[in-house]
Each structure stands twice: as C-alpha cells, then as structure tokens.
Chain A
C-alpha cells in the first residue's frame, strides 16, 4: 500500500474563493459522488440525537445534504435537502428524498419556515470568512424563531488519520478512489485534479477545506451579526469536528 496522501496546506486560501470552491469542492464532489456516497452511511450520534430531539412532525432543512444519509434517520420528521453538487443531489433523489441543487449562500426557501436545520460538514468548504458568514446567515434566515440549528465543521485540532499542519487553516485534502473501484465516479476531464498515481486506476482528488480552530465557530456566529437573533445553546467536539447548536430567538 502506498502511504496515504496527506493534506496540503495552502497559503492563498482567500483568493479566487468562488473559483476555488467550484474547482475543488463542487466539481470534485461530482467526480467522487458514487464512491463518496458508498462511504457515507453511518449517522453520527450527535446528529442522530439532535434529530430525535425534534418534536414529531417537525420540518427540517438539511443544507448540504450530501447523499442524504440523515434524511431518513427519523421517520417522525420531514427533511428537505439541498446540495451544491448535482451528482450528490441526484443520489439523494434516487433514494426517494426531497432534494434540490442549491448553494448554501442563497437557498431557495421562504424565510422562517423550518422548525430546525442541520449543516453537517458543509461550511468548512467555503473559502473566505465572508462566504462562511453568508452561508450561516442564510441557514438562520430559513429557520423559524425558536428553531434549532446544528452545525458541524472539521476541526484543525483533529488527531485522526490525517495530520494537519497546525500553522495553517486552509488545506487541499486528498480523496483517494482506490484501484478497481467500481462505483468510482466519472473520469476527471480537466487539470483540476492530481494525475493518477503509480497504479493507473487509482485516482486522487483534492477537496478544499478551511479547518476550524476551537472557538472559531462561536466567533463566526458573533461576526455574522447574528447575536441578536440566535443563542448558542450547545457546543462540543465529536469525531474530528467542532459543532454548535444555535437556537433562534
């Protein structure tokens, strides 16, 4: 086995933010969607508990729903999903869930509609703080007063398989589709991905991430001018992620 490719810090995290997200988030997820989806089936307990705590009959938004793995977790609830990756949205749709392609920064929902919202591993894909703030504000917009919002983002301090240079926060994180993977997705068609490694059929894609430091999610809420309309009612660390629960006031 070749060594696992490690995350590469980048120093121009903020430049060409929208192009970076398009090339290193949207397009990459479209390429890796089937393989990514096959690895995403286990619900994280914090998310599962959050869903089970919502009153029966609640309507939720899953913003950045990926393959829709949380959408069927609790049959007492109805979730509407959205994802920026059309391929992931299409997988979610094929599983029978309600989903649309949408950028988190401009959701196509009426305001103050949802009883709750979840944003699981999404906001770390925005390449500037301004865009992360826009994403957060937009989620808050569509949730009704007293509604709860759960947000998970990758932690810089994580001690798992991947090693992140603690001096940086913006990284290209490799996604490897091993050789002979049947559900490997479409072939990359441009120079937006690393060339194939020794084994011709192994493919490596790089996803852009902004890794969050402890307390950064809380300060993002503050800097979003949301302090007058949301309260942080829970926060913690779970499975390499920082998370917060916001309650809209």
Chain B
C-alpha cells in the first residue's frame, strides 16, 4: 500500500466517526519498500488538493523520513525539489506489514 492510499483511508466501521480516531490508520510493525513509479505532475497537483497534509506529515515522521517539507510551497509546480519529494513519498513509498 502506498502512502497515497494510506492518506485516503478512514476507518470503515459505521460507529467509528470520531475524526480524531478514525484517521489516519496507525502503521505498526511495518517495513518500507520503494516502488519506482513514473511521475505525473498533473496527478501530484491534483492530489495536493486531496491529501490531508497534517496526517501525511505525521505519517512521514512515524516512518522516520527526515527531509520532508513541512509546508506546501505557494507554487508547488515550480518547485522541482518539492514535487520530487512529494512524488516519492506519496507514490513510491510502500509500507508493508512484515508479519
């Protein structure tokens, strides 16, 4: 599962509606894999509107990734380094359960 999917998930149990508890899914006992994926800037810019940035940042910290931008730049499309990092984190990093 890529972090893209992880960020789009919420608990599907009907009674689990507390926004502080039903998202994001906690990642435990996981290994990270990097799955090479073609970069699609149209997609990345679109996903910037959808991603819960705070949840993504928290997840990135949980996974031990250090050099991830804290904020979305004003013109992300002109920020090559941001776009590449966002692509790698969202579309390539795949946590998997090693159990």
**A: which residues have CB within 8 A of B?**
55-59, 75-78, 80, 96, 98, 100, 102, 106-110, 113, 115
Contacts and interface: CB of A to CB of B under 8 A. Distances in A.
B99 interface: no
15 contacts: A56-B42, A57-B45, A57-B47, A59-B43, A78-B47, A80-B4, A80-B5, A98-B5, A100-B1, A106-B13, A106-B14, A108-B11, A109-B8, A110-B52, A113-B50
B42 A76 contact: yes
Contacts, number: 59
Nearest to A57: B42
Contacts of B57: none
Task: Place the interface of chain B in its size category.
Answer: 20 to 34
Nearest to B47: A59
Interface class of chain A by DSSP: loop
Contacts of B75: none
Contact of A58 (B41, B46, B91): B46
A76 B40 contact: yes
Interface in B1-41: 1-2, 4-5, 8-14, 23, 35, 38, 40-41
A175 B4 CA distance: 36
A110 B10 CA distance: 6
A108 B9 contact: yes
A96 B37 CA distance: 10
Nearest to A61: B8
Contact of B1 (A98, A102, A109): A98
> Which of A57, A76, A100 has the most B CB atoms < 10 Å from its CB?
A57
Given A59-B50, A100-B1, A113 B42 contact: no
Nearest to B23: A110
A96 B38 CA distance: 13
A78 B50 contact: no
Contact of B10 (A56, A75, A109): A109
A146 B54 CA distance: 26
